[in-house]
Amino acid sequence: MSPDPMFWIHLNIDYPFNLTGVMYFPKIGNQFDQQKNKIHLYSNQVYVTDEVKEIVPEFLTLLHGVIDSPDIPLNVSRSYLQSDASVKKITGYLTKKVAERLSKLFKDDREGFEKKWDDIGVFVKYGIITDEKFAEKALEFALLKNTEGKYFTVQEYKDKIKANQTDKYDRMVALYTPSPELHTSYIKQATDMGYDVLHLYHIIDNHFIQQLEYKGENLTFVRVDSDTPDHLIQKEETKESVLSEKEQEKVKELFAALPGVNASQLILRPMSPEGHPVMITRPEFMRRMQEMQALQGMEGMDKMDGHYQVIINANHPLIADKLLNMRSPEKKEKFAAYLLRLAKLNQGMLKGEEMNSFINDSIEFLS
């Protein structure tokens, strides 16, 4: 069954070329590749092809519809289409027409546009990534949605976060999550600091945010679980550790001795005592590379799953007071392992025997 149309675009032009047609926006969601090549090309009402990528810009192949133009001969070759002046004009016209239609919808009925954004967002973002002329217009109506369900244009969002989310290098930092349900605690810690968090879940959002970063918007994107809350946006402020250097070394030694932990993964950091005792984060650049590989179907992604950091909150009472004051080495090791598994649970990394061990230890601690 064909997806319901979001809205229609009617085409009718007789100069400098002849073209009529109708195209509509289907509900795409994240079914990206399944929606392509649904535009049928006719010449004087005679069917030519549905392989229109040489005539229709790449991002417009996500649309469905019919185009009829007598300026395109029945027997066309790929080389002809690539070099023909009329075809190039048609391509430019289609891009302009779609951008104008979306802009008008946004300006005339922003509330209605926002309601449709979750369905057409992939299409607009794909256009921004692949077509420079479309991007020039589309950045005026492309929307960013935060975890509260509110929508902003790129400029509106920059204005919103500028005061509180500008780092020490004078860059605005947009925090985001692909899943508010998965990152609930990370989002809570960020919002407690007065930060806003975007919800970016489309399959091409990784490419989209990089495009915005490269376009000189003075904006950088950081996933909310990529670092501890106080380091997501680098400020000039620094916190002092309540632990001595000797105590810090003891804490590092305890965690470095745990199975599966590499000393190079460990970071001891003085943070808010109200924060988490241990957090697991994956550096932004490493996670983006992994997502790029996934989108391109590349192998070796599983090898990157181990690239994460274990950050220990030196100022948390469970570290500074309880852990260090335990007399039994066995209890210290068991408690450190429990805190590490708690951090893994928060990242959705706790599975199998580790999960079983965590549950058993939880029951024991509560007994």
Residue boundaries of the structural domains of the chain: 5-114, 142-232, 245-366
CA distance 128 to 295: 18
CATH 1.10.3720.10 fits 245-366, yes or no: no
- The tokens describing 169, both together, are 């290098």
pLDDT of residue 304: 44
Given strand 172-177, what is the order of strands in its sheet? Answer: 197-199, 172-177, 219-223
pTM of the full predicted structure? Answer: 0.82
Is the distance from CB of 210 to CB of 204 less than 8 angstroms? Answer: no
Is the distance from CB of 301 to CB of 294 less than 8 angstroms? Answer: yes
- Residue of 103, 144, 140 whose CA lies nearest to 121: 144
Element housing 25 (H / E): strand 19-26
- The tokens describing 348, both together, are 């959705």
Peptide linkage before 283 cis (omega within 30 of 0): no
**Helices 352-366 & 329-346 angle (0-180, nearest 10):** 120
What's the number of CA atoms in the CB half-sphere (13 Å) around residue 96? Answer: 8
Tens-binned pLDDT, residue by residue, of the chain (367 aa): 455 677 888 888 887 778 898 988 877 655 555 556 678 888 888 887 777 776 778 888 888 889 888 877 656 555 555 556 666 777 888 889 899 999 999 999 999 999 999 888 888 999 999 999 999 999 999 999 999 999 999 999 999 999 999 999 999 999 999 999 989 999 999 999 999 999 999 888 989 999 999 887 789 999 999 999 989 998 887 788 999 999 999 999 999 999 888 888 899 999 989 889 999 988 777 777 766 666 565 554 444 455 789 999 999 999 999 999 999 999 999 999 999 999 999 888 888 888 888 888 888 877 6
Element housing 125 (H / E): helix 110-130
Indicate the fold that domain 5-114 takes in CATH.
Ribosomal Protein S5; domain 2 (3.30.230)
Q: What is the CA radius of gyration of the chain?
A: 26
What's the number of CA atoms in the CB half-sphere (13 Å) around residue 357? Answer: 14
Is the distance from CB of 93 to CB of 71 less than 8 angstroms? Answer: no
Q: How far is CA 333 from the centre of its chain?
A: 37
Is the distance from CB of 11 to CB of 21 less than 8 angstroms? Answer: yes
Please list the alpha-helical segments (H only) found in the chain. Answer: 78-83, 85-108, 110-130, 132-138, 154-161, 184-192, 205-214, 229-232, 245-256, 284-295, 317, 324-325, 329-346, 352-366
CATH of 142-232, one of 3.40.50.2020, 3.40.50.11260, 3.50.50.60, 3.10.20.740: 3.40.50.11260
Render 69-93 in DSSP notation, one character per residue. -TTS-SS--HHHHHH-HHHHHHHHH
